[in-house]
Amino acid sequence: MKLDSKHFRPGNFVYELRCDLTHHLSVVTEVRVDVVLCGEWHADKPIHLNDDWFMKFGFKRFKHKNGTGAITFRIGDFEIISPARGVYILFFNGQRIRIAYVHKLQNLYADLYDDQLVFNEDLVKWRKGDVSV
């Protein structure tokens, strides 16, 4: 996915490309019409959402007892259903909204609750800049 600045906000997590051509986890600091910045570096690609990110944001994980293997991630009354590994769906106002990237989860939560998801650093075993892809 090419980064389109209209989908990002300050505070979103992204990967930035450093001059040594490695990607590092970073936080968006500024959004311009044509570029997403993380301090002095340019954001290079979004982060694919996975179960670990829900835990990093403090969501509780509930396994469905109906034998389907579906999982619900919940923080307060905000729920995301994962019917299959790597598939995340928000049911809202009669609509199904598929969420594939961390920044989209952050933005949907912010839009619905006028608040930011808090990155729970106590649950994270790596620090900013430690992740290379």
pLDDT tens per residue, range 24-82: 788 888 888 777 877 777 777 889 999 999 999 999 999 888 778 899 999 988 999 99
Same-domain status, 77 and 37? no
Q: Is the pTM higher than 0.75?
A: yes
Same-domain status, 42 and 86? no
pLDDT number for residue 122: 59
Same-domain status, 60 and 116? yes
Same-domain status, 55 and 94? yes
Write out pLDDT tens, residues 98-130: 999 999 999 999 999 999 888 766 544 444 444
Sheet of 41-45: strand order equals: 23-27, 13-17, 41-45, 36-38, 30-31
Same-domain status, 67 and 12? no
Same-domain status, 30 and 89? no
Same-domain status, 74 and 97? yes
Domain count, the chain: 2
Residue 21 has pLDDT above 50, yes or no: yes
For residue 38, the enclosing domain spans 5-47
Give the contacts of 132 (CB within 8 A, at least 6 positions apart): 22, 23, 24
Q: Is 40 within the bounds of a domain?
A: yes
Amino acid at 113: Y
Same-domain status, 30 and 85? no
Same-domain status, 116 and 56? yes
